[in-house]
Structure 1
């Protein structure tokens, strides 16, 4: 393991809400000079779920993403507080957004979403043995759910039609497992 070549000289919180904290940091960088660093600390994990039916189909959720100013198709996903069991957060997000519940869960990936300025961590689960129920979206969400063949979702990822990082990484991981005969 490498030693940390950065030295933090001071930290000032410039913004704080229930989801993020933004810090201005005075640092000594690896070259030895003084500098600044902006850091966004996330108070939730990003959780994504690939619900996979026995016939190989999966589900995408469509919604307007305010930060991007555009509509986005993505896996069922959301935030789970750091103190919450991530699997419970995944179960909740799947149920809220699609109404689905699953008997079998597998952690597919743990990744950092933007490690240059944030500490956000994402976990992506595979859910199988699905049962349908009523969706329970949050009041801030207006969602559209589509069931599609996995091959179509993979095609959309490869074509650049789906750009959500969690969805891209999760779909590519499932495709790699399928090609290796591990799914």
Structure 2
């Protein structure tokens, strides 16, 4: 192994197997790191996953509840959505917060960037903390049937710790904000 950080995968061919406005799936014929032939599938996301932790002056945050089709279950999570490739993630975060909760914020801090499932997809997430909140009218998309709950931040942290909240963006965001609180960085 000359350089362990270099790509050990060799692509011999690739085929687009599925495409829609949100994702693209490509199947690759490869020579794997052991030198054997194989296949690898990649899901490319056409939007960045955008998350927002709205935090008011009384240390409340806002959760959005909705039925998640893929999981076939109801979930509570921070306001989140997609930001088209090439767009400003902060603009997408502001849009998502208003759409889902009706909130606008005067202070925005990027708190986290992360890949969500790097073994099969390239989905990338940018998460913000929003402060200086003002209530306006929510503008949900026609695909969204949402409930919004104002919840003390510590209660949401406990929901993450107990496994009641399992959404990866929400879990990472709440744990990051909790760490920032513990370290007096808010």
Q: TM-score under structure 1 normalisation?
A: 0.99
Measured against aligned partners, the alpha-carbon deviations of 1:17-62 in whole angstroms (never above 9, x if no partner) come to: 0000011100111111111001000000000000000110000000
Q: Given the alignment, which residue of 91, 96, 107 partners 1:93? A: 96
Distance in 2 (CA, whole Å) between partners of 1:114 and 1:9 is 24
SS at match of 2:120: coil
Measured against aligned partners, the alpha-carbon deviations of 1:72-126 in whole angstroms (never above 9, x if no partner) come to: 0000000110111000000000000000001111111100000000000001100
**Which sections of structure 2, spanning at least 5 residues, go unmatched?**
none
Q: Given the alignment, which residue of 179, 182, 185 partners 1:179? A: 182
SS at match of 1:31: coil
Distance in 1 (CA, whole Å) between partners of 2:11 and 2:89 is 30
- Determine the structure 2 residue equivalent to 1:63: 66
Shift of 1:138: 0.2
Q: Does residue 99 of structure 2 align to residue 103 of structure 1? A: no
Q: Given the alignment, which residue of 28, 38, 42 partners 1:39? A: 42
- Determine the structure 2 residue equivalent to 1:12: 15
Q: Given the alignment, which residue of 141, 165, 170 partners 2:168? A: 165
- Determine the structure 1 residue equivalent to 2:158: 155
SS at match of 1:36: strand
Q: Does residue 30 of structure 2 align to residue 27 of structure 1? A: yes
**Which sections of structure 1, spanning at least 5 residues, go unmatched?**
none
Q: Does residue 140 of structure 2 align to residue 137 of structure 1? A: yes
Moved over 2 A (4+): none
- Determine the structure 2 residue equivalent to 1:115: 118
- Determine the structure 2 residue equivalent to 1:82: 85
Measured against aligned partners, the alpha-carbon deviations of 1:120-167 in whole angstroms (never above 9, x if no partner) come to: 000110000111100000001000000000000000000000000000
Distance in 2 (CA, whole Å) between partners of 1:102 and 1:7 is 47
SS at match of 2:179: helix
- Aligned pair count? 183
Shift of 1:9: 1.0
